[in-house]
């Protein structure tokens, strides 16, 4: 089993450059963060749960939680287990009938369930080491790049990945507007389809 580190949801934010939603996970006990691009509907679901917004009828993730409970299942924890080709992969660990089963899940859906069930969120250490950011470190790297210094000799991600992570961090430093999802209903689409996810992945965004 891969070594895991525990994280908490620090915030859900909106990129000022492209209006993409980002959930920022913070490793407990440190100042290391993991930004993950997510869809607007998953971001809305996570934010509703974090803010304990009451809705008239169950949302999709409320429904999943209710189904799990009705079938005598209990969510133990959720995990972000790997990062492949700029796509994060997650798991739900569910206890049912005396055994624990793993269910493949997008991290965005797993996080939406985790905040509802109040269970731990774990990230594989390898994923955190690869995609995690430390604010002071990223700032120094950005300044060195601006001044024409040689790039760091450590891990060399693709240019798209580097630009994406730097953009996320610049937004983070600039204290992006918190995602006021209660006023986001004017989006032109209302269907979080797999086609939208495929399009986002084609843009080389780290999106679940």
Residue 108 falls inside a structural domain: yes
For residues 145 and 152, give the distance between their C-alpha atoms in angstroms, rounded to a whole number: 9
Q: Cβ distance 23 to 12 under 8 Å?
A: yes
Number of domains in the chain: 1
Q: What is the mean pLDDT of residues 139-157?
A: 45
Which residues partner with 38 through β-bridges? 21
| CATH code of the domain in which 27 resides | 3.10.690.10
The pairing of strands 121-124 and 73-84 is parallel
User: 26 is written with which tokens?
Assistant: 């913070």
Residue 177's φ and ψ, nearest 5 degrees, are -55, 130
Average pLDDT value for residue range 104-126: 96
Residue 124 has pLDDT above 60, yes or no: yes
pLDDT digits (tens, 9 = 90+) for 10-45: 999 987 777 789 999 999 999 999 999 999 999 999
pLDDT grade for 102, boundaries at 50, 70 and 90: very high
Domain contains 115: yes
In a domain? residue 179: yes
Comparing C-alpha atoms, which of 25, 6, 12 is closest to residue 132?
A: 25
Structural domain range at position 107? 4-149+157-202
pLDDT band at 137 (very low <50, low <70, confident <90, very high): low
Tell me 153's DSSP state: S
Per DSSP bridges, beta strands 73-84 and 33-38 are unpaired
Alpha-carbon span 53 to 124, nearest angstrom: 30
Residue 208 lies in a domain: no
Instruction: Tell me, yes or no, whether 79 lies in a domain.
Output: yes
Cα–Cα dist 5/17, whole Å: 31
Yes or no: say if 82 and 88 are a contact pair by the CB < 8 Å rule: yes
In a domain, 207, yes or no: no
Determine how many CB atoms are found less than 10 A away from the CB of residue 108: 25
Compute the distance between CA of residue 171 and CA of residue 183 in angstroms, rounded to an integer: 21
pLDDT in tens, 72-98: 999 999 999 999 999 999 999 999 988
Q: How does the average pLDDT of the chain come out, rounded?
A: 76
DSSP for 118-139? T--EEEEHHHHHHH-B-HHHHH
- Rounded to an integer, the average pLDDT of 115-127 is 96
In this structure, is residue 19 part of a structural domain? Answer: yes
Strands (E), the chain: 4-14, 21-27, 33-38, 73-84, 87-96, 99-105, 121-124
Helix/strand/coil percentages in the chain, nearest 5: 40, 30, 35
In a domain, 98, yes or no: yes
Other Cβ atoms less than 10 A from the Cβ of 36: the count is 25
Identify the band that residue 116 occupies on the pLDDT scale cut at 50, 70 and 90. Answer: very high
């Amino acid at each position: 089993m891969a070594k895991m580190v525990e994280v908490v949801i620090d915030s859900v934010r909106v990129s000022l450059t492209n209006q993409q939603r980002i959930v920022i996970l913070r490793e407990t006990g440190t100042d290391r963060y993991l930004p993950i691009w997510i869809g607007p509907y998953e971001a809305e679901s996570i934010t509703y749960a974090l803010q304990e917004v009451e809705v008239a009828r169950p949302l999709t993730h409320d429904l999943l939680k209710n189904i799990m409970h009705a079938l005598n299942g209990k969510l133990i924890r959720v995990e972000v287990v790997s990062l492949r080709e700029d796509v994060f992969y997650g798991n739900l660990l569910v206890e049912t009938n005396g055994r624990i089963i793993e269910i493949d899940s997008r991290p965005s859906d797993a996080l939406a369930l985790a905040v509802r069930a109040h269970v731990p969120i774990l990230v594989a250490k390898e994923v955190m080491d690869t995609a995690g950011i430390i604010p002071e470190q990223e700032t120094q790297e950005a300044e060195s790049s601006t001044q024409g210094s040689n790039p760091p000799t450590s891990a060399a991600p693709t240019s798209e990945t580097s630009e994406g992570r730097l953009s996320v961090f610049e937004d983070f430093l600039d204290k992006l507007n918190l995602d006021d999802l209660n006023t986001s209903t004017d989006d032109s689409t209302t269907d979080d389809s797999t086609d939208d996810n495929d399009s986002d992945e084609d843009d080389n965004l780290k999106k679940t």
